[in-house]
Structure 1
Amino acid sequence: MRTSSNPSKQKGTAWESALVAYLREHHDPGVHRNVQMGARDIGDLAGYYLHAVEAKAEKTITLADYIAQANREAIHAGQPFGCAVVKRRMKGVADGYVVRDVRTDVRLINRLKIMEEALQDADFDRWHDIDEELREAA
């Protein structure tokens, strides 16, 4: 196995790997790291539902750059949403930040609202059970 002599790249790879492990356990076992594709990059991770993920573990945080990159990569990946998952210094994966611009967040929340309303209309009892379960998990 070849290792990088670039400490920043090693940090980024470690963050991506830790993020993949966390998402596999808590979201979807199919989450994986993507192969980098240069100008047509599709994000660092695949399998985070409906998202292209740009994973960042940097000392200096530049949100505008991260969001622009995540949104561009979402288009390349054919995903409706892009987000940056930013490592919080001296903290574990669960304490990291998922960041998106307001435009993207409103589109996501609108989709969630519409889908919940559709489930309520189609099967209120199922919606109620799911809602109750997710409220208790919070």
Structure 2
Amino acid sequence: MANPHKTRGTAWESAIRDFLNRFLGLVDETGALRDPMSGDNIRRAAQEGARDVGDIHAAPFIIEAKDVASRAVPTWLRQAEVEAVHAGFPHGVVVHKTRRAPVHAGRVHFTVRTWTRVRLALGHTSRNTAELYGCTFTVRGLDTDRWYVSMSLWDFASLLADYRAHSGVARALR
């Protein structure tokens, strides 16, 4: 019998991938990729030995998907950033499933450092980025390594589309 935790995690990864591909218009009405060879496609990564490269590749982001009840966001973010380096991508984020809610309600978490790099690449101020993408901020004590920024997966999909349009990064990765 398959591991139920692995099965649930795989289903969450697939749901994220499918939502982002639909949102970005990368699939046709049947759900098939319009261009299977495109670097723009969101894909689940094949695990490659000891150097984990993240769960989902959504250039220029590596996504670490979490479908668990108890949260450990700062730890997950450190993991996502290491995996982004392994995969050769500039940004690592975490998508945590929101219980009893549609996939687009999942919460995407960024380190403050990653969020700052992304908003600067888009040419936005902190306030403007927070308003455009529905960002919330979690500040835990004086240790800034435990601070993070969150938004819904829906808002992340909009940010991803804007980032790609602004920087042309996905096309450069082809």
TM-score band w.r.t. shorter chain: 0.7 to 0.9
The equivalent residue for 2:13 is: 16
Partners of 1:24 and 1:17 in 2: CA distance: 10
Q: Identity of counterpart residues, as a percentage?
A: 38
Alignment of 1:74-85 (within 5 A): 74-85=84-95
The equivalent residue for 1:105 is: 115
CA 1:84/1:28 → structure 2, altered by over 3 Å: closer, same or farther? farther
The equivalent residue for 2:154 is: none
Partners of 1:5 and 1:69 in 2: CA distance: 25
Partners of 1:69 and 1:27 in 2: CA distance: 26
Are 1:31 and 2:42 counterparts?
yes
Structural RMSD (CA): 1.7
Give every structure 1 segment of 4 or more consecutive aligned residues whose post-TM-superposition deviation is greater than 2 Å: none
Q: Could you tell me whether the CA contact under 8 Å between 2:62 and 2:83 is conserved in 1?
A: yes
CA 1:51/1:25 → structure 2, altered by over 3 Å: closer, same or farther? same
Deviates more, 1:68-77 or 1:32-41: 32-41
Counting matched residue pairs gives 111
Q: Which structure carries more relative contact order (alpha carbon 8 Å, separation 6+)?
A: 2
Shift of 1:38: 3.7
Q: Which amino acid aligns with 2:106?
A: G
User: Secondary structure, in 3 states, of the residue corresponding to 1:14?
Assistant: helix
Correspondent of 2:78 among 68, 78, 86: 68
Shift of 1:32: 1.1
- When Rg is computed on C-alpha atoms for both structures, the one with the higher figure is 1
Shift of 1:28: 5.9
Shift of 1:5: 2.1
User: Secondary structure, in 3 states, of the residue corresponding to 2:94?
Assistant: strand
Task: Specify which structure has the higher proportion of helix.
Answer: 1
Partners of 1:27 and 1:69 in 2: CA distance: 26
The equivalent residue for 2:166 is: none
Partners of 1:9 and 1:85 in 2: CA distance: 16
Q: Which amino acid aligns with 1:6?
A: N
Deviates more, 1:72-81 or 1:27-36: 27-36
Unpaired stretches in structure 2, ≥5 consecutive residues: 27-40, 125-161, 163-174
Unpaired stretches in structure 1, ≥5 consecutive residues: 115-133
Alignment of 1:43-54 (within 5 A): 43-46=54-57, 48-54=58-64
User: Secondary structure, in 3 states, of the residue corresponding to 1:106?
Assistant: helix
Render the CA deviation track for 1:22-47: whole Å, top value 9, x for unaligned: 0110126321111112431111011x
